[in-house]
Amino acid sequence: MTLTRIRTITLSLAIVTATTGCSPEETVVCASDSGFLMTNVQVIDGSGTPAAPADVRITDGIITEIGSLEACEGEKVVDGGGQTLAPGFIDTHSHADGLILKNTDALAAVSQGITTVVVGQDGGSPYPLADFYSRFDETPATINIASYVGHNTLRSEVLGDDFKRVATEEEIAVMANILTRELESGALGLATGLEYEPGIHSETSEIIALAQVAADAGGRYISHIRSEDRWFEDAIDEIILIGRETGMPVQISHIKLAMTRLWGQAEGTLAKLDAARADGVNITADIYPYEFWQSTMMVLLPERDYTDRAAIAEVLEQIAPAEGIWMTLYEPNPDYVGKSLTEIAGLLEVDAIDAFTHLAQGAQRWKQEHGRRAEMIIATSMKDADIDLLLNWPETNICTDGGLRDLHPRGAGSFPRVLGHFARDKKLMSIETAVHKMSGLTAAHMGFTDRGLIREGMVADLVLFNPDTVIDRATPEQPDALSDGILSVWVGGELVYRGGATTDARPGKIIRRN
């Protein structure tokens, strides 16, 4: 059969309509108004196996055939221009829930090839989850969304302002009842943020009791562990214990070694995780590919005492140097945004410790007066060699830890950065392995069984990218800069992104626990 193809060089994509082809029996899966045939692509199927040329047929949002295929009569044909077709990427640690109901284009996510985000992270989730899901169903986005139930959300509902203490058995029982209702909405499981209020004040026994409720419902556990620096080893032991006691899958959020004394110990950390897995604990991790993180200043001070000069001195010596901390949000004085702690100390004519106290005190006062967050920082705390090892662990998948409008470049650049910088340029792993860590492995870690692979019967969440040019462009100075090389993205078989812009399609669905 001969087809006339219209080449669109800027998009590496062309659409034609076949006039002859399949037998009548085959046309059952080839209705032209409910799908298309993708041709001229190298398929990376998400399993980690090598890329191979193939055609892929999509019907009613489902992958129905893969192989050397002929177009059916009247079927739309999409010419992939010889580029790479992969499963849509899954972000296992996203804060897209903050803006997804308003920014339904989800440009920061979909422009990376992300087709599904998992929210309810760091212990905070939309509440009640059923209401959030209903609103999403009414105003769907370009991408799919799944959610955990946040432990901090439960604690806030039950303990209110009296949270700086251990919960009673009665309070834990009330939290368990709320968790059960939230799980009935289809949440994936329980998420904790144990470096943040109010979860930082909980005991391990409280977490195990609630995690068991999620485990009994067939759920999972994901955690911003209790410490990524001072008490990192104890925090790893805690999440392993939770996995062992409950028997449920447990995942470490954005795994990192964020303290000078920990640098160079990635091998030992991974050996501990491997030993736990060998002992029957299903522990996994996700990671974003940057040496700097974003959070609040107070996360650096477990005692939350911004007047403690010794504690601040330890932070600046062991966790993040003054020149490696800069403000991304400071409501009391927006002129400080973009400046490092060293620069702000110079402006105030004080040392870095006093500058930290001044900033924290001003932010706390502003927050009390206005009732919302007053500051955010980006801090440099990791080493490339550790990131490489953690990223390359077979049970680590990729995440962003970003929102749809983020002051950290991870929100717009994480996935293309892994493909371009780590896989292609640095050759830390193959492109196929990188895609596996963004799709098939990720789906397994979240319990998704209907997406994450290019296989017959799977949902047609797909991304077409150029492996030779894909790269992140977001920086701390321009955190919303779109990446290069992500050509087209489909969600449920509908085109949602092409050539640097989203389409009008909003096919995103709620993904509920199986």
- How does pLDDT run across 421-449, given as a tens digit for each residue? 999 999 999 999 999 999 999 999 999 99
* Domains of the chain, CATH where assigned: 89-291+396-444 (3.20.20.140), 294-380 (no CATH)
Is the model's pLDDT at 4 over the cut of 80?
Answer: no
Q: What is the reported pLDDT for 18?
A: 52
Is the model's pLDDT at 259 over the cut of 80?
Answer: yes
pLDDT tens profile 363-405: 999 999 999 989 999 999 899 999 999 999 999 999 999 999 9
**Residue appearing with tokens 């007053």:** 374
Q: What is the reported pLDDT for 19?
A: 43
Is the model's pLDDT at 312 over the cut of 60?
Answer: yes
For 103-202, list the strands marked E by DSSP: 114-119, 144-147, 149-150, 189-193
pLDDT band at 3 (very low <50, low <70, confident <90, very high): very low
pLDDT tens profile 86-105: 999 999 999 999 999 999 99
**Do the beta carbons of residue 285 and residue 274 sit within 8 Å?**
no
Q: What's the whole-model pTM score?
A: 0.92
Over the chain, what is the mean pLDDT?
Answer: 93
Is the model's pLDDT at 177 over the cut of 50?
Answer: yes
Q: What is the reported pLDDT for 389?
A: 98
pLDDT band at 24 (very low <50, low <70, confident <90, very high): very low
pLDDT tens profile 116-145: 999 999 999 999 999 999 999 999 999 999
Task: Output the CA–CA distances (angstroms, integers) from residue 233 to 76, 135, 205, 269, 325, in the order listed.
Answer: 55, 41, 18, 8, 24
CA gap 110, 94 in Å, rounded: 13
Is the model's pLDDT at 11 over the cut of 90?
Answer: no
Averaged pLDDT for residues 138-163: 98
Q: What is the reported pLDDT for 450?
A: 97
SS3 of 359-405: the string is HHHHHHHHHHHHCCCCEEEEEECCCHHHHHHHHHCCCEEECCCCCCC
Is the model's pLDDT at 27 over the cut of 50?
Answer: no
